[in-house]
Structure formats: structure tokens, C-alpha cells
Amino acid sequence: MDANPNLSPESGGFNPTMDMRQFTAFFNQVAQIQGHINKQLNPSQDPASPYFILPSENSGIPITNVTLNGANYGAWSRAMERALKSKNKIKFIDGSIKKPESTNSIFETWERCNTYVVAWINLSLSPDISQNVLWTNIAYKLWNDLNHRYYQGDRFRVAKLYEELYALKQGDFTVTAYFAKLKTIWEELDNFRPISMCACEMKCDCGLGIIRMQRKEDRVTKFLRRLGEQYSNVKSQIMLEGLPSDFFKAEGEEEVEEVGLKPGEDKEAEASCIVLFATKLDT
């Protein structure tokens, strides 16, 4: 009969190699459990936690190249939000993470992260604005303070955007470039004048759906009316007959955006381009 490979006289009947494997597996399990406990007790060690800070992070280096000057709050806030989201620190400014009591075990970890966020925000402010908020040292309070001071000031920016919108026409632009300029203005206006989401469960009876649809119709009309006169037939057809529901396709979008036709180069392709962009506004 063959000898049992798991038995060894030198080890009192057990193979020491097998014992070592079992010990290693047990040790790894213990290490994993301990690591999980440590992450719960100290979230600064958990890469998925908002309290985690990479060793390479530097509170003295700006995280956005947009500087708040008092007249560009919309652009600045969007840039800062994107930067903080990329660092998993957005909860320090949206109120999700509040200042804990000084006796709380998480206080020192919160304070370190909060200091980083406050420093990054201050680095993105003009010197005059930075001096005005110098003593605000809690990130979400600083964020709310800047919002209160400068968001309302953007009403002048809104007025300027509407002036640009009313004056904009295709002219010598390609259809693609014309649409892109309109879209940029509309997106910024939406940031300043958003339409609240409808909370109706079944049928909308709050009126927000009607308002949203009217805004889309206004934008389709704006886009069409300020196209070149060489597209009169296409514009009239769309206004009278509406947009084809099955026209919009992703591959069609790519083709049109790559072409970027100039007026007069290809009438059939330009007509498709116009219908495509009008469809994008209507969806």
C-alpha cells in the first residue's frame, strides 16, 4: 500500500508543508478582517472614503485653472465641483459631511480633509474675494457663503447670455459650429435658470412638463430661424411637418459632426444636418 503523502514520521504524522499552507491561509484571512476593521475605525485608510487623502496631494497647488472674480460664478462653481468630485471631496461642500464634535474619534480626520478643501477653494479665488472670506474655515460654510454672495450677481451674466443668444445667427459658420455655439449658451443658461424636476408619480399636473416642452420648442425655433436663408425650404418643412421621430441615430450624429459642412457644399447633407440637430433639441 502506498504511503499517505500527508503523513510524515518526522512531524508526528502530519506533513509540515500542509500545516504551513493552512497557517498562511488563516493568517491572510485574519489580515483581511483586521484591514476591514481598521478602515471602519479609520476611514482615512480607505481609498473609497471621502476622508482618504493621497500622499501626493498638496493643499498648496490649485485644482482648477478657473479663478472666481465675482462675475463668473457659474463657470467657477462647475469647475470646482468637477475637481472636488475627482478627489472624492464633494461631500465636504454639499453639506453631506458636517463638522463633528471635537470629542468625536473622526474629528482630526475630518479637520485634515476640511483644511485641504478650504485651501483649494481659497486658491481659486481672486485676491479681493479671498480676503473677504479669509476667516471662514469650514468648507461647506465657505461654499455657501460664496454662493450667496456671487450667484445672485450672475443675473448680469444671464442678461449677457440672452443678448448673445438673440444676436447669434449662422452666418459663415458651419451648421455644426452654429449649433455648438447655441448649445454652449443654452447649457450655461440652464445652470442659472434650471427647471425643477417633476415630482408627479403618474401624469404630470404641476405644469413643469409643459414648461420644459415649451423651452425645447423655443430652442428648435431659434435654431431654425437663424439658419442661413439657403435653408428656407428645409426650415419650412420642419416647422410645418415636425421632426421625424426615427431620424436621430448615434452613427448619424458622428457622421454629421465629422463633416462640418459649410453653406452650399452639399445641400442634401446639410438638410440632414439641420434635421439632426433640430432632433437633438427636441429629445
Look at residue 263 in the predicted model and tell me its pLDDT: 46
In whole angstroms, give the CA distance from residue 225 to residue 128: 44
Instruction: Give the C-alpha distances (Å, rounded to integers) separating 153 from 10, 41, 118, 148.
Output: 85, 44, 22, 9
In whole angstroms, give the CA distance from residue 44 to residue 49: 7
- Residue 52 in domain: yes
- Residue 2 in domain: no
Instruction: Indicate the number of domains in the chain.
Output: 3
Scan for cell 412638463, then name that residue.
209
Cell (9 digits) for 225: 430661424
Q: Do 226 and 177 share a domain, yes or no?
A: yes
Q: Do 55 and 36 share a domain, yes or no?
A: no
Q: Do 268 and 159 share a domain, yes or no?
A: yes
- Residue 55 in domain: yes
Residue closest to 264 by CA, chosen among 222, 227, 223, 221: 227
pLDDT surpassing 60 at residue 138: yes
Q: What average pLDDT does the segment 238-246 reach?
A: 59
- The pTM score is 0.57
Look at residue 165 in the predicted model and tell me its pLDDT: 94
Q: Do 106 and 178 share a domain, yes or no?
A: no
Q: Are 99 and 58 in contact (CB under 8 A)?
A: no
Q: Do 70 and 137 share a domain, yes or no?
A: yes
**Which of 150, 185, 212 is the C-terminal boundary of a domain?**
150
Look at residue 144 in the predicted model and tell me its pLDDT: 95
Q: Do 140 and 200 share a domain, yes or no?
A: no
- Residue 1 in domain: no
**Which of 118, 150, 182 is the C-terminal boundary of a domain?**
150
pLDDT surpassing 60 at residue 9: no
Q: Do 113 and 162 share a domain, yes or no?
A: no
Residues of the domain holding 93: 42-150
Look at residue 243 in the predicted model and tell me its pLDDT: 53
Q: Do 202 and 216 share a domain, yes or no?
A: yes
Q: Do 211 and 277 share a domain, yes or no?
A: yes
Q: Do 274 and 186 share a domain, yes or no?
A: yes
Look at residue 120 in the predicted model and tell me its pLDDT: 97
Look at residue 256 in the predicted model and tell me its pLDDT: 39
Look at residue 33 in the predicted model and tell me its pLDDT: 56
Judging by beta carbons within 10 Å of its beta carbon (0-12, 13-18, 19+), is residue 158 exposed, middle or buried?
Answer: middle
- Residue 169 in domain: yes
- Residue 122 in domain: yes
Residue 73 half-sphere exposure toward CB, CA atoms < 13 A: 21
Task: Compute CA 93 distance to the chain's CA centroid, rounded to the nearest angstrom.
Answer: 15
Q: Which residues pair with 125 in a beta bridge?
A: 68
Q: Which residue has the higher pLDDT, 275 or 163?
A: 163
Q: Do 184 and 124 share a domain, yes or no?
A: no
Q: Do 146 and 190 share a domain, yes or no?
A: no
In whole angstroms, give the CA distance from residue 154 to residue 147: 10
In whole angstroms, give the CA distance from residue 176 to residue 252: 13
| Neighbouring residues of 275: CB distance < 8 A, sequence distance ≥ 6 | 234, 238, 243, 244, 247
pLDDT in tens, 103-129: 998 999 999 999 999 999 999 999 999
